[in-house]
Amino acid sequence: MNKGVKIGIVAVLAVAVGIVVYVRTMHHAPVEPAPTDAGRTADQRLPRLLDLGSKTCIPCKLMAPILDDLRKEYAGRMEVGFIDVAERPEAVKTYRIEGIPTQIFYDASGKERHRHWGFMSKEDILATWQELGVTFGPPASVE
């Protein structure tokens, strides 16, 4: 690799690091969840996990079956949402996304309680809910 290419790579990396540092130092107000609670009473609201990613990103693709699993297993006890930021680029600003995938944990009142950037296993997601003091109880019986 010639010297010019190496200098170019270092310059690109320096700019990328500068952007990340700038974004991380900006003041961020809490972000409210998407308005899916419209028309619901307080006792009808559920804790919500919102995953923001892309259908083309490898870690995001790995998250998809986990989100589907959680959606099915915790139906009626937790809402699980996904926003593809490639299809909805305004979500990057709305939810202050610094990288994908990003998981945002909201309590039943809609308050953001935790945020994670990167792949997250099902076990880690459930452990995070537990650390936040959110319990889901047994699934509703199907009869």
Q: Tell me, yes or no, whether 141 lies in a domain.
A: no
With helix as H, strand as E and coil as C, how does 29-84 read? CCCCCCCCCCCCCHHHCCCEEEEEECCCCHHHHHHHHHHHHHHHHCCCCCEEEEEE
Looking at mean pLDDT, say which of 3-17, 35-49, 59-73 comes out highest: 59-73
- The answer to whether residue 142 sits within a structural domain is no
- pLDDT above 90 coverage of the chain, percent: 62
Please report whether residue 118 resides in a domain.
yes
Active site residue 22: no
Query: Can 65 be counted among the known catalytic residues?
Result: no
Q: Which of 60, 66, 100, 125 is catalytic?
A: 60
The active-site residue, picked from 57, 64, 86, 92, is: 57
Task: Please give the model's pTM, rounded to 2 decimal places.
Answer: 0.70
List the domain range (segments joined by +) for residue 90: 3-131
Domain total for the chain?
1
Q: Which CATH number goes with the domain that contains 125?
A: 3.40.30.10
- pLDDT over 90 (residue 35): no
Q: What is the pLDDT of residue 39?
A: 47
